[in-house]
Amino acid sequence: MAHHSRLAIFFLILLFIDNSYTAFPPSLLDYNAYGVKIAMNEYFFVEVQNDNYAPGFLVQFAPYNDTPVSVQCTVTFRNSIDHYIYSVTMGKSQQQFFFAGELTNTKNGTFIGVAKYNASSSSCDTRFSFTVQYFYNYEHQEYYVIHVEPSGRYAYGFANKFIFIFDSFNISLNVWNGNETWPDHSFSPHAIDITNNFSVIAGFIRNAVDATAVYIPVIYLINFSSFTNYPYIVDQYRPNATVDTWQYLLTNSDADTYSAKYDMSVSINNNGGVLVGMQFINRVFLFSVARSNPIRLYFISRNTNGRSLGNGKSVAWLDNGFAAILVNTYSLNYQWASSEIYVYDIQTYGYNSNSTPLSIFPNQHQLLPLSFSSIFLQIISSPSSLALLDDQGNVLIMNPTPSGYFPAVRDSGSMPVFTSAQLCFPGTYKNRSGIHDCSICPSGTKNGGNSSTQCVACATNSFCPLGSVSDIPLSALTTTKQVIAYPKSPESIIFDEILLQNMFHIGSGHCLVVSPIFWSLIVAAFAVLIVILMSILKHRVDHPQSRKIRQRLKCIFKHTDLIGEGELWVGGLVSFAVVVLVSFAYSFSRQYLYQYPIESASDSHFACDPSLRNAKFQTNLQSISIPPTDAEQKMFYLLNNQTFTLHLDFVNTAANCDIISLQVLYGTRWSTIRWLSCSNVNSILSLTVVLPYQHASIQIYISGTQIIGALRVGLSSAGQEDEHYNLKELNFYQAFYKYGEVLTQNLSINLDMTKVINETAAMVGEESDYSGIYIPTFTTDIDSLFLTEDQYVYSTSSSALLTLVISETPYYVKNLQEPIAKLSEIIFHNILFTVVCLEIFGLIFLLYKLVSTPLRHVYRSCYAAKHKKNNERICVF
C-alpha cells in the first residue's frame, strides 16, 4: 500500500518535472490564444473546445435558430489526448471542417485534420469521420495559421518554418520549408484568407538591425500556381506608421512569441475587397485585388480609431458589400475597456476613419445575452450570418433579417445564442436585409411603427426631428416666460422739468390739442386783437361813445391785471393767457399725480406723451445672504414656501409611462418617488411630479429603447395674494429641441432659480407693496443635449437618464418703483410755477416800463421842439 502511494507520488513529480520543461504549455481555457477557434458556413458552425486534454468540437447545424430542427453535437476524434488545436476552418460550401494544431505534454509534432460529415448517420458520435495527418520535422511554432480554398478540397497551412497543402479528398499532405516561399525568412503569419483566385496573408517580419522597430507588420498577396496549387508571393504592403504618432514608437519587440495583442485578421469578399485588421496599431486596412489578374494589392483606405488598441481584432465581410468589424478598446498597456461590433456598408459608403457604421452591436435594443461576457474575441461570417465568440467560449449567432426587421437576441439560456427577427421600433426603419440594426428615420420623416421598411414624410409645419413617430404641432414646443424686462426710469425724474417740458411744448395732432402754451398763445392772440381794436378806437374813431367803451374796457382790464397789480390794462389782457397756462398746469399736475403705479395707470391722454408716468424705477441684484428688511422678509417666506410641480414633456416619442422611473436626492441617497400624473397623448409623454422640496435634484430613468425628439421642462406653483404681498403664480416652460437632431440618452439639465421681488413704494404712507416670483435660468448648453444622425449610431446605452438639478442663484433681483412726485411736492411746484409765470410777465412789463418811459419822454420833447421850430429836425436832449 505504502509502496504504491510512493510510486504514485514519484510519477506525479515526474509529470510536473516533465511539464515544467515542455516548450509549449498553452492555456487550454483561453479562447484567445494561437488562432481562430470558430468557423462557420451555410451548413454548420464549429467551435473548438480545448478545455480538456482531449479537445472537442461543438457543432451547431443550420438553421441557426431555436427550433427543434436545429441540431447540436459535441464531437471529438480518436486518440485526441494531448492535441492542442490552434484553429478551425471550413470551405464555403462543403460539409466538412479542418483543424490544425500541435501535440503538447512531452509529445512533439504538428497536425492537420479534417472532419467529414456523414449525412446518413443519426447519432452525434458517428456523424463525423476524422482524418488527422501528423508531421514531426518542425519544432513548436508560435504562429501557425490554416485556411481552405473555397471549393473546400485543399487546406493550406502556414507557419514561419513550414508550409503545407493538405488534400482532403485523396488524403495527402505536402509539406515544405517556409524559407522556400517567404521572401523574408523571418516572416511569421498571423492571419489569412483564401479565395479561388488569390490569398492574402498578414504577419510580422524582423526589421533591419539598425531600425527602431524590431518586428514590423507586412501583408503579402499570394497567387496559386494553376498546376500544382503552390502558393507564391506576388505583392506585399508594409503599413508604415506615420512619423510622430504613437504607432511610430512601437517596437513590437515581443512579436515573435504568441500574444493575443498581435492578433491580425483578414477577410476577402467575392469582389476582391480585402479587409486586414491589425489591432496592435488600432487600424483596419481596405485593399482591392483584381480577381482576373491578382498581381497587385491596391491600398484603398484605412480606419484608425485613436490612441488605443483593439480596432480590427477581427474582421468579416458579409453579403451585399457589408462588413462587420470587431472594435475592441484596450489601453496601450492592453487593459480591456470595451468590445463592440461595427457594421459598415463599405460598398456604398466606403470605409475610412470618418466612416459612420450602419449600426453597432450591442446597442439600446440589441443587448448581450446574460450569460455572455462583454469581452469579444472573434467574429466569423457565413457570409450571411455572423458568429461572435466571447472570452468564455460563449457564441452568439446573428442571423440576417429582411427589411423592416432587426436581429433581436433571444436569450434562451442555451449555447449558442441565436437572434430572431423583430419589427423595427417606431421612429426607425430598415430597407435592406442584413444583420445590422434598424436606422433612425431621417429628419422630416416619421415612422409610427406600421411600415418599417421606409419612413414617410411629415406634414410641412410640424415638428419632425430625427426618429419621429408622428407629426407634432409646433405649439407643443412653446416656451413660456413670465417676466419681461423691468421698465427704465424716464429721461427726467424731476417734476419741475417734466412740468416745464409739458407746459411749453407744441407738437402736432394730439400734442397740439393738449399743449398748454398753444392755448395760451391763442388767448394771447385775442389779447393782441383787442389791443389793436383799442388803438383803432383811440386813433381812428373820434366818437365820445367809443372813448367811453375804451375807458370801460381799460378799467376792466386794469382790474384783471395780475402782473402789474392793476397798473396796466394790457397787463390785464396778458393775464388771461397766464391764467390759461397756469390752469393747464394745475390740471396736468392733478392727473399726473394719479399716474402711479404703472401697473394701475392708464394712458396719459392729458399729455403729449401718453406713456408719461409718475414713476421712477430702480433694479439691482442683491446677495441672498444679506438679511432682507422685515418687510421684504415676508416676501422671502412666501417664495421659499412655494411647492413646485415639475412638468416634463417628452415630445415625439412612442415611450410609455411603464418605462419611466423617478428618483429624488435626499441628502446623499437617491430615493424613489411617485409621479402625480403620466400619460402619452399624441406621441407626447407628459409627466408631472410634485417636488418634495424646492431645490431638488431629480433623476428620470427611461429604460428601453425609445427615441425622444425633444424635451419641454416646466415648473408650476400656485400664487398667493395678501394685503401688501402678492406671490405670483409660477408657470413657465422651456422647450429644448433642435431640428434634425435627437435627444441624447444622458441628459443633464441644470435649472437655476432666481427670486425677483418688485417693491412698489406707497404714494401715501410708508408701507410698500411687494410682489415676487421665481424666474428660471437653464444653464445647460442646448447643443449638449442633442445628437446628430451619425452620433446617434454610437449611442448604445440601453436606457436614458435625465438628471434635473434645481438650485437657487446666490442673488436675487430687486425692483423698486417710486413716484417721481408726491402730492405735497406737486402743490408746492405748482405754486412756484404760478408765481414764476406771473413774475416773468411782471419782469417783462418792468423792462417795458424801464425802456418805454425814457423813450416816451424823448419822443415828447422832440415832438414839442418840432412844433416850436419847424425847421429844426434834430432833437436836442
Ligand X SMILES: *[C@@H]1O[C@H](CO)[C@@H](O)[C@H](O)[C@H]1NC(C)=O
479 binds ligand X (CB under 6 A): no
Q: Which three cell numbers mark 433?
A: 436585409
Q: Which range in 385-393, 406-414, 512-520, 636-644 contacts ligand X by CB under 6 A?
A: 636-644
Residue 486 exposed, middle or buried by CB count within 10 Å (0-12, 13-18, 19+) = middle
Spatial separation of the C-alpha atoms in residues 165 and 148, rounded to whole Å: 10
Spatial separation of the C-alpha atoms in residues 114 and 88, rounded to whole Å: 10
Supply the minimum distance, in Å, between the C-beta of residue 126 and ligand X: 5
Supply the minimum distance, in Å, between the C-beta of residue 755 and ligand X: 9
Spell out, one character per residue from 396 to 435, where the chain touches ligand X: x when CB under 6 A holds, - when not: -----------------------------------xx---
Q: Which of residues 268-307 bind ligand X (CB under 6 A)?
A: 291-292, 294-295
Single out the residue of 339, 318, 237, 241 nearest to residue 283, CA to CA.
Answer: 241
Q: Judged by CB under 6 A, which of 118, 373, 551, 633 binds ligand X?
A: 118
245 binds ligand X (CB under 6 A): no
637 binds ligand X (CB under 6 A): yes
Check: CB of residue 813 under 8 Å from CB of residue 755. yes
Check: CB of residue 504 under 8 Å from CB of residue 577. no
Spatial separation of the C-alpha atoms in residues 642 and 638, rounded to whole Å: 7
* Integer CA distances (angstroms), 527 to 237, 571, 621, in order: 112, 10, 57
Check: CB of residue 802 under 8 Å from CB of residue 750. no
Beta carbon nearer to ligand X, 73 or 483: 483
Check: CB of residue 323 under 8 Å from CB of residue 303. no
228 binds ligand X (CB under 6 A): no
| Exposure string over 620-658, b if 16+ CB within 10 A, otherwise e | eeeeeeeeeeeebebbbebbeebebbbbbbbbbbbbeee
Q: Which range in 8-16, 118-126, 280-288, 686-694 contacts ligand X by CB under 6 A?
A: 118-126
Spell out, one character per residue from 584 to 603, where the chain touches ligand X: x when CB under 6 A holds, - when not: --------------xx----
196 binds ligand X (CB under 6 A): yes
Beta carbon nearer to ligand X, 113 or 571: 113
Beta carbon nearer to ligand X, 348 or 677: 348
Total residues interacting with ligand X, rule: CB under 6 A: 43
Beta carbon nearer to ligand X, 119 or 874: 119
Supply the minimum distance, in Å, between the C-beta of residue 149 and ligand X: 8
Q: How far is CA 45 from the centre of its chain?
A: 42
Supply the minimum distance, in Å, between the C-beta of residue 314 and ligand X: 23
CA quadruple 829, 835, 838, 842: dihedral sign: negative
* 734: enclosing H helix or E strand: strand 730-736
SS (H, E, C) 663-702: EEEECCEEEECCCCEEEEECCEEEEEEECCCCCCEEEEEE
Q: Judged by CB under 6 A, which of 108, 181, 207, 697 binds ligand X?
A: 108
Check: CB of residue 398 under 8 Å from CB of residue 376. no
Q: Which of residues 126-145 bind ligand X (CB under 6 A)?
A: 126, 129, 136, 139
Beta carbon nearer to ligand X, 209 or 484: 484
Contact partners, residue 70, CB within 8 Å, separation at least 6: 60, 61, 62, 63, 64
484 binds ligand X (CB under 6 A): yes
Q: Judged by CB under 6 A, which of 80, 197, 301, 546 binds ligand X?
A: 197
Beta carbon nearer to ligand X, 248 or 637: 637
Supply the minimum distance, in Å, between the C-beta of residue 430 and ligand X: 8
Q: Judged by CB under 6 A, which of 477, 756, 802, 806 binds ligand X?
A: 756
Check: CB of residue 84 under 8 Å from CB of residue 35. no
Q: Which range in 48-56, 389-397, 586-594, 771-779 contacts ligand X by CB under 6 A?
A: 771-779
Q: Which range in 230-238, 545-553, 784-792, 820-828 contacts ligand X by CB under 6 A?
A: 230-238
Q: Judged by CB under 6 A, which of 174, 374, 492, 641 binds ligand X?
A: 641
Q: Which three cell numbers mark 195?
A: 479565395
> Which stretches of the chain bind ligand X, using CB under 6 A?
108, 118, 120-121, 126, 129, 136, 139, 169-170, 177, 179, 196-197, 223-224, 226, 234, 237-238, 240, 291-292, 294-295, 431-432, 483-484, 486-487, 598-599, 637-638, 641, 728, 756, 758, 771-773, 815
